[in-house]
């Protein structure tokens, strides 16, 4: 169900010659009898992607007239309560209107203000959930559960022969992975190690909704009590830190901790669950400090610098779980095409799972829409959805001195058992040392485990 061969860069190919003759927004399609046939012919996914790409190009080149016509067409062929392709397109339409509203061009900004009703009824109302409700939300699909299962298998293996397991949790899911990890540690015949958890607490603006309705410290107290009920001793510490500066405060905390810790007694495990891609890559602007001091252009991005800092900590294992797509194109058209050819997966996955108009569907798609709007409407440090493919992450990890260690058959078996609880469209494949979650044969999420090259 991929709609284009690759993410095109630069302006898209010419539009259909009749487009500029179509009625101007905001005429409703029901009142446009002559245009109905034309509109109905544009409702396949490939045409919707082309219209979105042309609209993005028109906005960025300040062609307000063409942008207005394209927005009208998209508004009429992509209702937010339609099928999965229409809902996908409606989400990108909202993102483009938001991008136009932030344009430095007065015609495009004025156009966005006039077209505020294009935003339909945006589902992006801030939403906070209790831990129980958030866990139920995550359990709807294996999007996160896949990574939880694979990572927990690698984490428990890393804890072998260590009296202390120090887990550094870099996750967008508010430590929802920990209960199953605690259960796994408690079930070990030799008993559980002491579990020390350090959690990075980034600003909520860097994570998709829903958020947690309580401070992480309060959640940590509950997790400590849960661990105690399973005869697992546990410590939970929250370190305010942001991916915008490469988690500088977290790294400093870990360095200081290592000064007073015997490395032979503690397994240091870094669990990166869909948060690494929020660190600025080479396409991001340099940090403000570099701009203020007129420093030369950095040869390494903060993303690479963070991975090098992790390598310097000599961790026992680093687990990387992330979405397998490339949202790093500098031009919005290329980024839009890449996102459109990836974000159809979560929309399609719930088409027959959750009823239209239901609260669960609204919450789920709000999270997906947030990612689309961030990758398309935002720029600079505000754009944190900078996904990279698993191949690129492999290059990065090897480049800073890690080697892949892979997952055993037990890990793959646990993931397969978990997938049996979900729709038949979800699948699992193994590519060299990585596990990959697929939807209808298309790669969605990957999991990989890494050790410093010098360690065995």
CA-CA distances (angstroms) from residue 427 to 187, 346, 365, 442?
Answer: 27, 14, 21, 9
Among residues 240, 165, 162, 150, the alpha carbon closest in space to that of 197 is found at 165
Tens digits of residue pLDDT in 354-386: 988 888 998 999 999 999 999 999 998 899 999
Mean pLDDT confidence for 170-188: 96
pTM of the predicted protein model: 0.88
Residue 414 to residue 409: CA distance in whole angstroms:
9
99 pLDDT higher than 80: yes
Mean pLDDT of the chain: 86
pLDDT, residue 294, reads 42
Q: How many CB atoms lie within 10 A of CB 44?
A: 11
- pLDDT band at residue 352, thresholds of 50, 70 and 90? confident
> Cα angle vertex 260, ends 256, 266, to 5°?
100
Least confident range of 52-66, 292-306, 418-432: 292-306
Write the pLDDT tens digit of every residue in 118-164.
Answer: 454 455 566 899 999 999 999 999 999 999 999 999 999 999 999 99
């Amino acid at each position: 169900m991929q709609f284009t061969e690759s993410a095109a860069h630069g302006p898209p190919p010419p539009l259909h010659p009749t487009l500029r003759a179509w009625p101007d927004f905001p005429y409703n399609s029901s009142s446009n009898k002559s245009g109905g046939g034309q509109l109905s012919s544009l409702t396949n996914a490939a045409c919707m992607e082309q219209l979105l790409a042309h609209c993005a190009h028109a906005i960025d080149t300040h062609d307000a007239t063409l942008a207005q016509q394209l927005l009208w067409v998209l508004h009429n062929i992509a209702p937010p309560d339609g099928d999965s392709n229409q809902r996908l397109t409606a989400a990108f339409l909202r993102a483009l209107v938001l991008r136009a509203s932030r344009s430095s061009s007065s015609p495009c900004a004025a156009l966005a203000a006039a077209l505020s009703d294009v935003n339909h009824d945006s589902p992006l109302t801030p939403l906070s959930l209790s831990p129980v409700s958030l866990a139920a939300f995550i359990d709807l699909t294996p999007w996160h559960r896949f990574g939880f299962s694979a990572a927990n298998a690698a984490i428990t293996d890393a804890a072998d022969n260590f009296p202390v397991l120090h887990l550094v949790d870099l996750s967008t899911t508010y430590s929802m992975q920990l209960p199953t990890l605690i259960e796994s540690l408690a079930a070990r015949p030799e008993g559980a190690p002491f579990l020390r958890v350090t959690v990075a607490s980034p600003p909520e603006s860097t994570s998709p909704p829903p958020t947690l309705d309580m401070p992480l410290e309060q959640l940590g107290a509950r997790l400590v009590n849960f661990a105690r009920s399973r005869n697992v001793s546990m410590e939970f510490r929250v370190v305010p830190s942001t991916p915008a500066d490469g988690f500088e405060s977290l790294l400093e905390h870990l360095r200081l901790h290592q000064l007073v810790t015997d490395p032979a007694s503690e397994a240091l495990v870094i669990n990166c669950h869909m948060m690494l891609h929020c660190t600025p890559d080479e396409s991001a602007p340099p940090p403000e400090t570099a701009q203020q001091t007129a420093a030369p252009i950095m040869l390494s991005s903060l993303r690479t610098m963070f991975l090098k800092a992790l390598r310097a900590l000599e961790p026992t294992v680093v687990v990387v779980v992330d979405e397998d797509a490339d949202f790093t194109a500098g031009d919005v058209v290329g980024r839009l095409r890449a996102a459109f050819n990836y974000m159809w997966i979560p929309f399609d996955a719930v088409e027959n799972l959750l009823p239209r108009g239901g609260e669960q569907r609204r919450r789920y798609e709000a999270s997906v829409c947030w990612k689309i709007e961030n990758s398309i409407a935002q720029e600079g440090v505000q754009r944190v959805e900078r996904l990279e493919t698993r191949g690129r992450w492999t290059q990065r990890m090897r480049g800073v001195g890690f080697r892949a260690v892979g997952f055993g058959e037990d890990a793959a078996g646990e993931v397969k058992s978990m997938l049996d609880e979900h729709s038949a469209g979800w699948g699992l494949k193994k590519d060299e040392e990585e596990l990959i979650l697929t939807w209808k044969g298309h790669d969605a999420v990957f999991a990989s485990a890494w050790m410093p090259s010098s360690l065995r």
